[in-house]
Amino acid sequence: MTRSVFTLPSMDTPIASRALATEAVHAGRDDLARQGLHAPPIDLSTTYPSYDSRGEAARIDAFAATGAEPDGAPVYARLGNPTVARFETALARLEGTESAVAFASGMAALSAVLLVRGSMGLRHVVAVRPLYGCSDHLLTAGLLGSEVTWTDPAGIADALRPDTGLVMVESPANPTLAELDLRAVAHACGSVPLLADNTFATPVLQRPAEQGARLVLHSATKYLGGHGDVMAGVVACDEEFARRLRQVRFATGGVLHPLAGYLLLRGLSTLPVRVRAASANAAELARRLAADPRVARVHYPRIGGAMIAFEVLGDPHAVIGGVRLITPAVSLGSVDTLIQHPASISHRIVDADDRRGAGVSDRLLRMSVGLEDVDDLWADLDRALGERVSPPQQRTAAARG
């Protein structure tokens, strides 16, 4: 009986530098052909038999001391899982980091980062609004004992304190698609780790680690999974931080299920194609919205992407109630197009004044553009926007960015 089933795909395998599209379909699978496999195996074991309890004790000690991935069988599924490790390997390669650590959701991933820093006595967080609504809430409410200072990018350096353990930003940000200069922000952080939430851009459009972010966070529920059927989170980072994250994941239990790990690895293989195709649709819809008299303002990122935010002159709730092809639902990053009203749904949990102060207007709609035909999408949106009340020449604002 071979033990190769327990061989985790190694991060150190020397692989010549490969393009993103190649990594997307091959990373995390490099050992498969040698094993006589094509599709990655799904290992659903919660426990791993061992007749050598001394050896197992040594593996437990090693994990407790270092947080390094167990050598050989993981002992127990909370320490690690070979199928999930394939996804982690692949995502790390796409983001250009040494390692990645996967969690049960994006919020579980952010929680683990806060716990790592908090356990080192570094409870203070500096953050830039807007952030995803629940990230804002987690920090504002101090649910994990952290204390947050909100600032703008120019104020980051001045907001740092001796106990600052983290600087957190999103770019493009949820839901306004506001962008910031990650390189300049990373510089302002000095030695404090910068966490960049890269959920919206994905490594296809932006690799924050190359710009100085020490931690790259994803709600893998969104584009990485890409089909609206997996909930997951992941942090791409250096191996030193990854070890701390694995120790926290082991102790707090926010592990990713192996079936989700499998679906995410499969999702990554089409990520570049999906993101590029959906972005082309989104760019065209942003152009049509910007030229539409019923739309006050369109936010579309300079780096592109499949997300659009726009402010309507009329009632945003009527647009949500009026779509038929587009799905009125929170979340994003799926193959189909979703639209939602951030002030009512995704950012409801943020205090109304803070929300508006971060640029989240009550008339803002956020749309995650999918892979449908762009003319079908426009026909649906056009109908949902309702009557054209004013002639085109009375248009009040143009597209931004």
Ligand X SMILES: *Cc1c(COP(=O)(O)O)cnc(C)c1O
Please report, as ranges, the residues that interact with ligand X according to CB under 6 A: 105-107, 132, 134-135, 170, 174, 197, 199, 219, 221-222, 231, 233
Minimum distance from CB of 340 to ligand X (Å)?
11
Paired with 2 in beta bridges are: none
Q: Which is nearest to 265 in space by CA: 36, 43, 2?
A: 43
**63 versus 132: smaller Cβ distance to ligand X:** 132
**73 versus 166: smaller Cβ distance to ligand X:** 166
Whether the ω angle into residue 40 lies within 30 degrees of 0, i.e. cis, is no
**107 versus 285: smaller Cβ distance to ligand X:** 107
Minimum distance from CB of 217 to ligand X (Å)?
7
Q: Which is nearest to 125 in space by CA: 178, 171, 193, 177?
A: 193
Minimum distance from CB of 396 to ligand X (Å)?
29
Task: Provide CB contacts within 8 A for 108, sequence distance 6+.
Answer: 233, 254
Rounded to the nearest 5 percent, the helix, strand and coil shares of the chain are 40, 15, 45
Residue nearest ligand X by beta-carbon distance? 106
307-312/295-299 β-pairing = antiparallel
Minimum distance from CB of 242 to ligand X (Å)?
19
- Checking 66-75 for CB contacts under 8 A at 24+ apart, the result is 66/243, 67/242, 67/243, 67/244, 67/245, 67/246, 67/247, 67/250, 68/239, 68/243, 68/246, 69/8, 69/246, 72/3, 72/6, 73/3, 73/6, 73/48, 74/6, 74/48, 75/47, 75/48, 75/50
**107 versus 188: smaller Cβ distance to ligand X:** 107
**144 versus 296: smaller Cβ distance to ligand X:** 144
Catalytic positions, written as ranges: 78, 132, 197, 222
Minimum distance from CB of 277 to ligand X (Å)?
20
Chain centroid to CA 394: how far? 39
Task: Provide CB contacts within 8 A for 173, sequence distance 6+.
Answer: 128, 129, 130, 131, 179, 180, 200
Minimum distance from CB of 371 to ligand X (Å)?
19
Q: Which is nearest to 266 in space by CA: 86, 73, 80?
A: 86
